[in-house]
Structure 1
């Protein structure tokens, strides 16, 4: 049975390997992208081929995957500072509301003015919220979707619930949604929710999900 020191060592070795792997792949991808741009500039007609679009799409996917790997690798490294959680959560919701309005998805919020000031990494918390909200708006019907965000004080911290009326998650998938590379999306990387989980746990918190297929999902987050 592994002790805490062994687990920490294995985690550090894994993150180092992942960082080196991402770096080694990113360099040739950058070169390939530059070379493709040079080819397109010299021979504009290549862009008329369907295969050209497929190459560019796959290259974009690899770059997105590398960005997700980087986010996953750094999600547990936080720089907290005193944060007015009420004001900050409202700012995040205001930033996504125009997108949801455009998609005709209703956003409702219940965030009291009495939430405590907490030590949070604001960039990582924003990343956490955007990931969860994006998951929600990708699962709800358009138009007619509804996302509800509520927050309240709990055990010297805050609890945040993000609920949607989307397609839900099957019971067999609910046990694996926080595992790296698990995804049910055709173009998903399977790293969004693992990143969220690491960010939450770095803030001494926890996250869980309740879901009913064809009815919706609610994520329960606690930040301590």
Structure 2
């Protein structure tokens, strides 16, 4: 409403200014024409009563007698000039012309325009110093209707009156429309408040609407049919939302069981691989005559027992609906645990590098073995059969107050489009597996205030970087 008022005021003001200027223009043209007709009637009277022969050469004499030209000028309040039919000045009411060095004349094209026009008349418009000047040219004829001379009447447009009237009008117009603007603003405010009162109630209900709770329907007397339709649509949506919430809850429960089953399957399968590798390695390297056979048998037994404990913890966690597996914090030496985790792998291109003897952190030993096993297993799977000089390097070192574990391979790498999804559950580029490994170990690492990141280039290799906080005060037993 306010915009409509402003636009209408601008349009009316523009039309009014245009109308005032057109009226002023028409007024000046009509006034010049009336003056011209009156002066020509007076001139005809003088010509009819003069004793001089009516010729072009006698025009100065006729109007010089008794100073008739100045009398005409005074009576009609205009400057009067007479030109011959070639455009040369014959007589003028302006005394300054008498001392001009060269006689004043009019352009020949004006003479031709006057002679060629139907009414033998032409009005020239000029603008001098921002003021419009009209100049009327018309023929003076004798009693036989033969042209004697050309009458010129200069006219200066005085728009002072119209300008003053325009200012007065615009002042009154501004006052009226200012009042209308204030009135329309108040009306718009109260009208919008009336309309939006119901909308505010609906908006508050919409803000409080949630899928996971019971939502109240709107009980409100509608101010219009449109608001009533909106309330009915909202109440219908609440009913459908409740139905959807029931279906969603059931679907979430089913999905949770599916995810739990996938995780349990993955967690049980994860320790089976190193157990199989350990048995195969033991079977291949077993030598009755080996002097260290007792120590090796003890190491192999410990490895199998650790993986069995892992499977047991998974089963316990699943049966108790807890996180898998239960987190046990203990002070461990990363160097020894990482070295132990690598012993189950038979690939001769896997190397372990470190310059430290001891790096202690608070973590579950089994969980750390799972992290290393998963990363190294993924690294071996990324190396293809045709890879030249395959290499997997596991490094452990200190950096400030953190322990850093890196697993670097020269496998096929990770493509740019797959990098954002590496740690997402169920994402995998392998033909087998459910893609839960990296997502689970990332969760394990974050549970111990650690971080995991990776660097990879396609067909060059991948490097995973794992960081854990270091324990500075180690408790000795």
Superposition TM-score tier, normalisation by shorter sequence: 0.5 to 0.7
Q: Assess if the C-alpha contact under 8 Å between 1:179 and 1:194 holds in 2.
A: yes
Higher mean Cα deviation, 132-141 or 149-158? 149-158
Partner Cα separation in structure 1 for residue 371 and residue 461 of structure 2: 19
Say which of 145, 159, 163 aligns to 2:390. Answer: 145
Rg (Cα) greater in structure: 2
CA distance in 1, matches of 2:375, 2:412: 15
Q: Tell me what 1:199 maps to.
A: 444
Report the equivalent of 1:158.
403
Choose between structure 1 and 2 for higher RCO, CA contacts under 8 A separated by at least 6 residues: 1
CA shift at 1:161, angstroms?
A: 0.7
Q: 2:261 aligns with which of 10, 15, 22?
A: 22
Q: How does 1:49-68 map to 2 (within 5 A)?
A: none
Structure 2 Cα separation of the partners of residues 217 and 151 of structure 1: 17
Aligned-partner Cα distance in 1 for 2:324–2:445: 9
- Residue 19 of structure 1: how far off its partner (Å): 8.1
Please say if residues 332 and 361 of structure 2, whose CA atoms lie closer than 8 Å, have aligned partners that are also in contact: yes
Report the equivalent of 1:181.
426
Distance in 1, matches of 2:371 and 2:259, equals 24
Once the two structures are superposed, the pairs formed by residues 35-50 of structure 1 within 5 Å of their partners are: none
Q: Describe how 1:54-203 pairs up with structure 2 within 5 A.
A: 74-75=323-324, 77-96=326-345, 99-101=346-348, 106-142=349-385, 144-203=389-448
Per-residue deviation, residues 103-136 of structure 1 (Å, max 9, x unmatched): xxx1122123344222110111111111000000
Instruction: For 1:206 and 1:111, locate their aligned partners in 2 and report how far apart those are by CA, in whole Å.
Output: 20
Moved over 6 A (4+): none
C-alpha root-mean-square deviation of aligned residues, in Å? 3.1
Q: Is the 8 Å Cα contact of residues 337 and 368 (structure 2) preserved in structure 1?
A: no
1:40-95 CA distance string (max 9 Å, x none): xxxxxxxxxxxxxxxxxxxxxxxxxx99xx6xx83574111111211111111222
Structure 1: distance between partners of 2:353 and 2:466: 15
* Partner Cα distance (1:151, 1:192) in 2: 21
The 1-side partners of 2:383 and 2:364 are apart by 29
Q: CA deviation at 1:100?
A: 1.1
User: Aligned partners of 1:126 and 1:85: how far apart in 2?
Assistant: 10
How far 1:188 sits from its partner (Å)? 2.1
Instruction: Structure 2 unaligned segments of length 5 or more: list them.
Output: 1-251, 266-313, 470-477
Alpha-carbon distance between aligned partners in 2 of 1:18 and 1:140, rounded to the nearest angstrom: 34
Comparing 167-176 with 112-121, greater Cα deviation is found at 112-121
- Cα deviation code 1:136-193 (max 9, x no counterpart): 0001133632100111112433111100000000011011010000111111211010
CA distance in 1, matches of 2:342, 2:260: 35
Where 2:418 maps in the other structure, the secondary structure is: helix
Q: Distance in 2 between matches of 1:75 and 1:174?
A: 26
Structure 1 residue 220 displacement after superposition = 0.6
Deviations 1:3-56 (A, max 9, x none): xxxxxxxxxx99x94489539x99xxxxxxxxxxxxxxxxxxxxxxxxxxxxxx
Mapped to 2, the partners of 1:138 and 1:220 lie a distance apart of 18
The number of residue pairs the alignment matches comes to: 162
Q: Give the TM-score normalised by structure 2.
A: 0.31
Matches of 1:190 and 1:166, distance apart in 2: 18
Whole-angstrom CA distance in 1 between matches of 2:428 and 2:332? 33
